[in-house]
Structure 1
Amino acid sequence: MSKMTSTNDKQFPRGAEWVRADFHLHTLKDPGASRKPFRDEYRGVNENGHDKANGFPKDWIGRLKEEQIRVAVVTNHNHFDRDEYKTLRKQGANEGILVLPGVELGMKDGGGGIHTLIVFNPDGWVDNPEHDDRIHRFLSTQFQSTPDEGTRTKDDFCHCLELLDGVKEDYFVVFAHVQSDNGLFQELQGDNLAHMINGCGKRWSERVLGLQKVKRLDVVKARWPDTQPIPALVQGSDPQCIEAVGKSDQHCYLKLGELSFDAVKFALFDHKHRVRAELPSPRQVVLLQQVRFHGGALDGLAVPFSPSLNCLIGPRGNGKSAVIECLRHALGFREGADDRYKSGLVERMLSPAGKVVVEAKDEFGREVRVERERSGQPSVYLDGQYRDISPGSVLKDILYFGQKDLSARSESFDESFLDKLLADRLDPKPQEEAALIEGVRQAARQLKETLEATEKIAALQKEKNELDAQLQVFTDKGVDKKLADMTLFDGDRQAIGAWQQALKELGTNLKESADWDDADAAFPVLKSKRSEPIAVGLAAAKAKSDEAKTTAQAALQTLREAFVTVGEALQKLAPVQDEMKQEVAELQKTLNEPQLDLELFRKKKARLDQLVKLLAAGAQRAKTEQAARDLLGAAVNKLHDFWREKFTEREAEVRRLEAALPSEIRLQTAFKGKRRAFGEFLRSKFRGSGLQAASYETMEEAFIDGRELYQARTDLEKHLSENAAMKVRSTLLESLADFLSFRTPDETVILFHQKPLGEYSLGQRATVILHILMHLQRHSVILIDQPEDDLDNETLYSHFIRQLLERKELTQFVFATHNPNIPVLGDAEQAIVCRKEGETFSFDHGSIDDKDIQQRIVTVMEGGEDAFRRRKEIYQLWKSSN
Structure 2
Amino acid sequence: MNLPPSIETALTLPAGARFYRCALQVNPFAYVQRHSKATIFDSEAAYNAALIRSFKENDIEVIAVTDHQRCTSGQSLAEQARSADIIVFPGAEVETKEGVHMLLLFEPDASWDRCNGVLGDCGIHDQSNPPPNIKYDVHELLRESKKWGCVCIAAHVAGEKGLLRVLNNQARTAAWKSEQLLACSLPGPAEDAPENLRSILLNKNPDYHRDRTVAVINAKDVSGPEDMVQPGASCWIKMSDISVNGLRQAFLDPESRIRLNSNPEPEDHTEFVAAAWQSGGFLDGAAIHFNENLNVLVGGRGTGKSTILESLRYVIGLEPIGEDAQKAHEGIVRNVLKSGTKISLLVKTYQPSPHLYLIERTVPNPPVVRDDTGKVLKLAPIDILPQVEVYGQHEISELTKSPEKLTRLLYRFLEHDDNMATRKRAIQGELERSRTRILETEKEIAQISEELARLPALEETLENYKEAGLEETLKEQSLLVREESVLKTADNRRNPFEGIIQALKQELPIDRAFLSEKALDGLPGKEILIAADAVLDRLDRDMEQVYILGRKAVEHAAKGMSDMHQRWGLRKQQVQDAYEKILRNLQKSKIDGEAFIRLRRQIEGLQPLKERKATLLRDRTAFQEERCKLSLEWEDTKAEEFRILERAAKKVSRKLKGRVLVEIVAAGNREPIATLMREQIGGRLSEAIDTLTRMKDFSLPVFADACRKGRDALVKRYLFSPSQAEKIASAGSDVFFQIEALDLPPTTTIKLNVANDHEPANWQPLDELSTGQKATAVLLLLLLESNAPLVVDQPEDDLDNRFITEGIVPKMREEKRRRQFVFATHNANIPVLGDAELIVGLSAAGEAERGRASLTAEHMGSIDNPKISGLVKDILEGGQTAFETRRLKYGF
2:261 is the alignment partner of 1:278 = yes
2:348 is the alignment partner of 1:360 = yes
CA distance in 2, matches of 1:346, 1:586: 96
Q: Does the Cα contact within 8 Å between 1:71 and 1:98 map onto a contact in 2?
A: yes
Shift in CA distance, 552/661, structure 1 to aligned 2, threshold 3 Å: same
2:680 is the alignment partner of 1:685 = yes
2:792 is the alignment partner of 1:785 = yes
Q: Does the Cα contact within 8 Å between 1:359 and 1:370 map onto a contact in 2?
A: yes
Pairwise CA distance, 1:822: 1.7
* Paired residue type of 1:146: D
Superposed counterparts of 1:197-216, under 5 Å: 205-206=179-180, 208-213=181-186, 216=193
* Paired residue type of 2:890: W
Which of 772, 777, 783 is residue 768 of structure 1 equivalent to? Answer: 777
Pairwise CA distance, 1:795: 0.6
Residue equivalent to 1:708: 703
* Paired residue type of 1:877: K
Percent identity, please. Answer: 19
2:814 is the alignment partner of 1:806 = yes
CA distance in 1, matches of 2:635, 2:428: 12
Moved more, 843-852 or 314-323: 314-323
2:637 is the alignment partner of 1:645 = yes
CA distance in 1, matches of 2:49, 2:11: 25
Residue equivalent to 2:738: 738
Pairwise CA distance, 1:879: 0.8
Shift in CA distance, 160/561, structure 1 to aligned 2, threshold 3 Å: same
Pairwise CA distance, 1:254: 1.2
Shift in CA distance, 681/90, structure 1 to aligned 2, threshold 3 Å: same
Shift in CA distance, 754/518, structure 1 to aligned 2, threshold 3 Å: farther
Provide, for residues 622-662 of structure 1, a one-character-per-residue CA deviation record: whole Å limited to 9, x for no partner: 77447525523532541352232232244045225514633
CA distance in 1, matches of 2:135, 2:583: 150
CA distance in 1, matches of 2:502, 2:341: 47
Q: Does the Cα contact within 8 Å between 1:332 and 1:391 map onto a contact in 2?
A: yes
Q: Does the Cα contact within 8 Å between 2:485 and 2:604 map onto a contact in 1?
A: no
Residue equivalent to 2:885: 873
* Paired residue type of 1:17: R
The runs of 5 or more residues in structure 2 that have no matched partner are: 716-720, 753-761
2:872 is the alignment partner of 1:854 = no
Provide, for residues 749-775 of structure 1, a one-character-per-residue CA deviation record: whole Å limited to 9, x for no partner: 34556654433333333333344455x
Residue equivalent to 2:149: 170
Shift in CA distance, 874/846, structure 1 to aligned 2, threshold 3 Å: closer
Residue equivalent to 1:443: 437
Pairwise CA distance, 1:219: 2.9
Provide, for residues 14-50 of structure 1, a one-character-per-residue CA deviation record: whole Å limited to 9, x for no partner: 542222223334446889944899999558xxxxxxx
Q: Does the Cα contact within 8 Å between 1:291 and 1:327 map onto a contact in 2?
A: no
Residue equivalent to 1:130: none
* Paired residue type of 2:179: S
Partner SS state of residue 89, structure 2: strand
* Paired residue type of 2:347: E
Moved more, 638-647 or 388-397: 388-397
Pairwise CA distance, 1:597: 13
* Paired residue type of 1:410: S
Shift in CA distance, 512/342, structure 1 to aligned 2, threshold 3 Å: farther
* Paired residue type of 1:781: A
Residue equivalent to 2:421: 428
2:620 is the alignment partner of 1:628 = yes
Residue equivalent to 2:105: 119
2:106 is the alignment partner of 1:99 = no
Residue equivalent to 2:755: none
CA distance in 1, matches of 2:64, 2:689: 84
Partner SS state of residue 728, structure 1: helix
Superposed counterparts of 1:349-498, under 5 Å: 357-367=345-355, 369=357, 371=359, 404-405=395-396, 407-422=399-414, 424-425=416-417, 427-429=420-422, 430-454=424-448, 456-457=450-451
Provide, for residues 224-275 of structure 1, a one-character-per-residue CA deviation record: whole Å limited to 9, x for no partner: 8446855333454545678878988442331112322321221122234323
Moved more, 542-551 or 67-76: 542-551
State the Cα RMSD in Å.
5.9
Pairwise CA distance, 1:160: 5.9
- Count of residue pairs the alignment pairs up: 831
What TM-score, normalized by structure 1, do the two folds share? 0.74
CA distance in 2, matches of 1:874, 1:284: 39
Moved more, 799-808 or 334-343: 334-343
Residue equivalent to 2:605: 613
Shift in CA distance, 176/696, structure 1 to aligned 2, threshold 3 Å: closer
Q: Does the Cα contact within 8 Å between 1:224 and 1:230 map onto a contact in 2?
A: no
Provide, for residues 484-538 of structure 1, a one-character-per-residue CA deviation record: whole Å limited to 9, x for no partner: 98x9999999997897787555433554478466698999999999999xx99x9
Shift in CA distance, 252/729, structure 1 to aligned 2, threshold 3 Å: closer
CA distance in 2, matches of 1:448, 1:556: 35
CA distance in 1, matches of 2:387, 2:402: 24
Q: Does the Cα contact within 8 Å between 1:679 and 1:700 map onto a contact in 2?
A: no
CA distance in 2, matches of 1:489, 1:144: 134
Moved more, 641-650 or 183-192: 183-192
Residue equivalent to 1:150: 131
Partner SS state of residue 731, structure 1: coil
Shift in CA distance, 613/172, structure 1 to aligned 2, threshold 3 Å: same
Shift in CA distance, 289/742, structure 1 to aligned 2, threshold 3 Å: closer
Shift in CA distance, 859/389, structure 1 to aligned 2, threshold 3 Å: same
CA distance in 2, matches of 1:267, 1:196: 20
Shift in CA distance, 839/290, structure 1 to aligned 2, threshold 3 Å: farther
* Paired residue type of 2:554: L
Provide, for residues 601-624 of structure 1, a one-character-per-residue CA deviation record: whole Å limited to 9, x for no partner: 89x977983675257426742774
Superposed counterparts of 1:75-86, under 5 Å: 75-81=66-72, 85=75
CA distance in 2, matches of 1:39, 1:92: 20
2:215 is the alignment partner of 1:232 = yes
2:25 is the alignment partner of 1:24 = yes
Q: Does the Cα contact within 8 Å between 1:31 and 1:149 map onto a contact in 2?
A: no
Shift in CA distance, 737/557, structure 1 to aligned 2, threshold 3 Å: farther
Pairwise CA distance, 1:455: 5.6
Provide, for residues 767-790 of structure 1, a one-character-per-residue CA deviation record: whole Å limited to 9, x for no partner: 33344455x54x323514244342
Pairwise CA distance, 1:830: 3.0
CA distance in 2, matches of 1:271, 1:852: 22
CA distance in 2, matches of 1:699, 1:259: 61
Residue equivalent to 1:47: none
CA distance in 2, matches of 1:728, 1:245: 80
Pairwise CA distance, 1:189: 4.3
CA distance in 1, matches of 2:665, 2:542: 54
Shift in CA distance, 554/252, structure 1 to aligned 2, threshold 3 Å: same
CA distance in 1, matches of 2:441, 2:39: 99
* Paired residue type of 2:816: K
Residue equivalent to 1:201: none
The runs of 5 or more residues in structure 1 that have no matched partner are: 44-51, 128-132, 199-203
Q: Does the Cα contact within 8 Å between 2:877 and 2:883 map onto a contact in 1?
A: no
CA distance in 2, matches of 1:70, 1:801: 30
Partner SS state of residue 296, structure 2: strand
* Paired residue type of 1:310: N
Residue equivalent to 1:555: 550
Shift in CA distance, 581/553, structure 1 to aligned 2, threshold 3 Å: same
Superposed counterparts of 1:32-47, under 5 Å: 33-34=34-35, 41-42=42-43
* Paired residue type of 2:60: I
